[in-house]
Chain A
C-alpha cells in the first residue's frame, strides 16, 4: 500500500515538474507574466476542487479493501476522465477570452497548457497503474517539447531531475519483476533492464555533449516539420512573443513585411529611402541585394570627417513659453499621427532632443558655444568619443564622464528611427555608449553644444537605422543622499536666474525643501511637490500680457508641461542646483504595442521636462508634470525595505493619533470579540425569529457552531452538538443546558424524524428555546473552560 502511494506521489511530482517547465516557457514568452500566475491560481483552485470532489465522492469507497477498490475505480474512471477532459479544454477557452483583449499565446503553447492540465489532473486522481502511466507520458512529452522550444538553464535542470525521477518511477513500476529477476539469479549479474538502460543513457549523453560542442548556438536542433514552431521562416504568428531570436535589425519577415516583430530570418527592406549603408557608399536609388550589403568604411570621402568636432544644424535656438494650447492626445488606435521611433526597452522613457539653459522669465535659449565645465574649474571638457569593443560589436563610448555615486548599472534601449526629420539622435539622459550595426567610425557622430548626440553632415538620420543605447541607471537611494559639488557655482549658464525675479521663488523653494538633508533630497522633493500640488491642464497657457511665466503658473496652479519644467528649473536654480529645460519625446506603457513588443513614439509625444546636475557633468532627468511617468530610479530590495520602513515611521509620526485610535479600536474589538459576536447574534435573532421553524433551528445551530469556533472550541464534524457540548456542561448554567437540550431535540427531530413536519412543531417553544440559546450561550462560558478538550 505504501509503495503504491509512493508511486502515485511520484506521478504527481513528475506532472508538477513538467508543469513548471511549461510555466517557465510561458513566463518567458508571455507579455504579462502576471497572467501566467493568475492561470496557475485558477488551475490550483480547480485542482483543489477536483481533489475535494474526489475525497467527497470516493471517501467512503476508499474504505473498501484494495481489490474492491480497483473494481470500483474502473467504474468511476469514465466520470473522472470526462471531468479531466473538460478541464483540459479550459486553456483553449481561456485563450479565446485573452484574444478578445488583444493578448494571447501561440497555439503550441495552448496545446502545452492543455497537456499540462491533463497530466496534472490525471496524476492527481490516478489510482491505477494505467492512469499513472498516462500522466507520466503526457508530462514527458510536455517537458520534451518545452526543452526544444525554450532551451534555458532552468529547463535543462528540470529535465535532469525529471529524467532521474522517471527512471526511478519506472523501476518502481516494475520492481516486482526486477526483484524476481534478481532473486532467481545465482551469479551476480546486472539485471536485464539496467543492461538496456545503461548504453542508452551513455549514448544520449555522448550525443548531447557532441552537439553542445559542435553547435553551441543552436545546441538543440529543431526537427523541421516534426516539431511545430511559430515564427521562423514560413509563418509569423502575431502572438509569438519569445523563443525566436531577436535580430539587431528589427524589421519584418520575408513574406509578411507589415510585421515588425523580431524574427530570425533574413532582412527584407522594401524602402526606397536611402539607408545608412547606401549613404556611406554613396549608392542611392534602389537598395542593394539582400546578401550583398556592403559598408564602405574605408572610402576616400571619409578622410575629412576624421577627428573633427562637428557642428549640428538645429531648427531653433529658442523655446518660447507663450504658446498656443496643445491638442488633446487621441487614442492609440484613432490617431492619425506619424510614428517617429520604435523603441525596445524599459518605459517610461524620456528621449532628449534639445536642451535650453538660458532663461529670461519668458523664453529659454540654448547655451552659447561654451564648453561644459567638469569638476575642475576653468577646464573645458571635451566630449570625446572612443570605440569600445564588446564581443563582436564595436560600441562608441563617451569618455570624460565622471563617475557618480548614484549611478548603479546600465540599461539598454534599442531605438529604430522610422520617420524623424532631424540629425539629432533621441537618447536617454546619462548616455554612456551606443552602437549602430556595422558602423564603427567615430566621425559619424558628434555631441552638440546642448549636449545632444547627433549625426553631422546629414540631412536626417536614415530611416530604419537602429541605435542600441546604453545609459546609466540612477539609484534613487543614492540620489537622495547625494550633495552637489561646492564648485558648481562656476556653472554660470545653468544657474542663472532672470533679473528682477520674484523673491517669493526662493522662499517657496526653501519652504518646500524644509527638512531635507541633502541636495538630492531637495531635488526629489521639488519634483514631488510640483506633481502633487499643481495640475496638468492642456489648455492652460501663459497669456500674452504676462511678464513672468513662472509667477503666472504659481498663481494659477495649473499649466502645461513646459511650465512645470520651467518652474522646477528656477526653483532648483534658487537652491543653487544647475538645471536646464529639455525638449524631446516621451512615451510610457500606453504607447506600448504588444504585437511588436515595442514602444512607439508618435509625433505628438513631444514633451518638455528638465534636467539637473549635481556635479556639472552628469545630467539627470526630472519629471515634475503629473500624469507623466517618473524617470526610472532603481532601488535594491534592501534600499526599498529601508525606504519603506522610514516612510512608514514618518507617516506614523505624522498620524500618530490615527494609529493610536485604530490600535485601541482593534484591541478592544479583539478583547471583546466574543461579546461583539454575541450581540450580533442576538440582533440577528430579531430577524430570524420571523423565519419558519426549520430556518430558525438551522440558524441557531449555525450560530452555535460559529460561537464555539470563535471560542477556540470548534466542533468536529464527527461529533454531534450534544456530544460536543457534553464536555462543556460544567461551564453552562442549568437554564442554558435546558435551552440547548430543547433546541437539540427539535434539531434532531427535524433532521432524523422522517415523519416530522414543520407545521406540527411547537413553534413557540422552539423560538423560546432558540432565543434562550442566543441570549445565554455567550462568551461567559468560555472563561470557565481551561482548555478545549476532545471528548
Chain B
C-alpha cells in the first residue's frame, strides 16, 4: 500500500485523504441504502471514474434515494427527469423563452444542468429525446440555438430502466448503451435490511432520504477524478484486459463485443476500483472485479447471462505474472 499521492499535480490530494473522503461518502450512501455495500462500491467506482450509471431494476428499490444521497454528499444540485413518450429534448436540455418584460430571450436551464441527474425509465422516451441526453452525457455540454453551454464538472447521470414494463418502450440501442459506464441491479435487500428500512421509516411520512452532509468541497470531486485517471496501469495488465476483451469478442454467442471505448471505460473503472482498495496501481483482481457491471452493458448476443460470457472470456486468459 503506497502512502504517496496518486499524481504530482499542483493541487494533488494525498491518497489517504482521498480514501478518507471516499470513506465518508461510502458511509453516507450505505446509510441510505441498507444492505447493498457491493452496489455502493460499484456506484462509487463509477462516480470516481467519471462515468454514468444505468440501473436496470424494478421500481421501489431505492434508486432515487441513492441519487439524492449522492447529490447531497457532493454538495451538488439534484435534477430529475421522468421520461415519458411525449418528453421533448428541450425538456431535458432547457430552452430559450422570450421574456415579455425584458424583451429578450432567457435561457431556462433543463434538469441536465444539475450535478446529479436521475433519468427515470429512460427506455420510455423517444430516441430523439434519448439522444439529447446522451449528447449531454458524452460531451458535457449542450447546444441550444447554436449556443453551447457547459454542464457541471461533476455531471453524473443515473439512468434507470424498468425491465418489466415494455409497453410503448423504446429500448436503448447498443451504441447508446455503450455510453454508460456500467449497468447495475440493486435488487431486493435481504431480510434484516428490509426490517431495518422499515424501522428507519417509522415516524416519517415521506420517503425523503436522510439528509446527508456534504463530504466533498466543490471541485474536489473532479480533482480526485483527475488523479484517479492517472493511476498506474502496467502494460501486462493492459494486455490482459485486451486479451480478455478479444476472447469475449470471439465467443460464439457474442455478436457485438467490447469496443475500444468500452475498453477505455473499463480501464477507468479499474483505476477507480484500485483507488478504492487503497492502491495506486491496478491489478488483475481489480479488472476482474469491475468486469461484470462494466462489460455487461456493452456485449450483445444470443445469451441469457452476460456474466457467463464474461467468465468464459476470463477462463481463457492466464493471469499475467
Chain A interfacial positions (CB closer than 8 Å to B) = 60, 63-65, 716-720, 722-723, 745, 748-749, 751-756
A748→B285 contact, CB < 8 A: yes
Closest to B284 in A: A720
CA–CA, A637 and B249, complex, Å: 58
Give chain B nearest CB distance to A230 CB in angstroms. 51
Closest 10 CB pairs of A and B: A753-B281, A717-B318, A63-B250, A748-B283, A752-B234, A63-B246, A752-B283, A720-B319, A718-B315, A754-B234
CA–CA, A271 and B2, complex, Å: 96
A residues near B1, Cβ cutoff 8 Å: 745
- B136 contacts the other chain (CB 8 A): no
B281→A718 contact, CB < 8 A: no
A residues near B320, Cβ cutoff 8 Å: 751
CA–CA, A717 and B314, complex, Å: 10
B315→A752 contact, CB < 8 A: no
A719→B319 contact, CB < 8 A: yes
- B142 contacts the other chain (CB 8 A): no
Contact of A718 among B2, B232, B317 (CB under 8 A): B317
Give chain A nearest CB distance to B170 CB in angstroms. 32
Knowing A60-B243, A722-B285, A752-B283, say if A65 contacts B319 (CB, 8 Å): no
Sample 6 A-B pairs with CB under 8 A, ordered by A number.
A63-B246, A717-B319, A718-B319, A720-B288, A753-B234, A754-B281
B residues near A722, Cβ cutoff 8 Å: 285
Give chain A nearest CB distance to B273 CB in angstroms. 13
CA–CA, A745 and B286, complex, Å: 12
- B316 contacts the other chain (CB 8 A): yes
Pair count A-B, CB < 8 A: 62
Interface residues of B in 227-251 (CB under 8 A from A): 232, 234-237, 243, 246-247, 249-250
Closest to B281 in A: A753
CA–CA, A755 and B280, complex, Å: 10
Contact of B232 among A719, A745, A754 (CB under 8 A): A754
B residues near A748, Cβ cutoff 8 Å: 279, 281, 283, 285
CA–CA, A718 and B310, complex, Å: 13
B residues near A65, Cβ cutoff 8 Å: 250
- B321 contacts the other chain (CB 8 A): yes
CA–CA, A754 and B282, complex, Å: 10
B318→A720 contact, CB < 8 A: no
A residues near B243, Cβ cutoff 8 Å: 60, 63
B285→A723 contact, CB < 8 A: yes
CA–CA, A548 and B279, complex, Å: 96
Give chain A nearest CB distance to B93 CB in angstroms. 40
A residues near B316, Cβ cutoff 8 Å: 63, 718
B236→A752 contact, CB < 8 A: yes
A720→B280 contact, CB < 8 A: no
A residues near B232, Cβ cutoff 8 Å: 753-755
Contact of B281 among A60, A719, A720, A752 (CB under 8 A): A752
Give chain A nearest CB distance to B290 CB in angstroms. 14
Give chain B nearest CB distance to A61 CB in angstroms. 9
Contact of A63 among B249, B280, B282, B285 (CB under 8 A): B249
CA–CA, A720 and B240, complex, Å: 12
Besides the known contacts A718-B319, A749-B2, 4 further A-B residue pairs in the complex with CB atoms under 8 A apart: A716-B315, A720-B288, A720-B319, A751-B321
Interface residues of B in 272-299 (CB under 8 A from A): 279-285, 288
Give chain B nearest CB distance to A749 CB in angstroms. 7
A753→B280 contact, CB < 8 A: yes
CA–CA, A65 and B254, complex, Å: 12
Knowing A718-B319, A751-B320, A754-B232, say if A60 contacts B246 (CB, 8 Å): yes
Give chain B nearest CB distance to A148 CB in angstroms. 47
CA–CA, A748 and B320, complex, Å: 11
CA–CA, A719 and B282, complex, Å: 16
Against A, the Cβ 8 Å flags (1 = close, 0 = not) of B179-209 are: 0000000000000000000000000000000
Give chain B nearest CB distance to A599 CB in angstroms. 58
Give chain A nearest CB distance to B68 CB in angstroms. 34
Give chain A nearest CB distance to B277 CB in angstroms. 9
B246→A749 contact, CB < 8 A: no
Contact of A752 among B2, B282, B288, B317 (CB under 8 A): B282
B residues near A64, Cβ cutoff 8 Å: 246, 250
Give chain B nearest CB distance to A282 CB in angstroms. 89
Closest to A791 in B: B311
CA–CA, A754 and B316, complex, Å: 25
B residues near A745, Cβ cutoff 8 Å: 1
Give chain B nearest CB distance to A63 CB in angstroms. 4
Closest to B246 in A: A63
Give chain B nearest CB distance to A594 CB in angstroms. 50
Give chain A nearest CB distance to B4 CB in angstroms. 9
Knowing A748-B285, A752-B283, A753-B232, say if A63 contacts B247 (CB, 8 Å): yes
Give chain B nearest CB distance to A716 CB in angstroms. 8
CA–CA, A745 and B288, complex, Å: 16
CA–CA, A745 and B281, complex, Å: 11
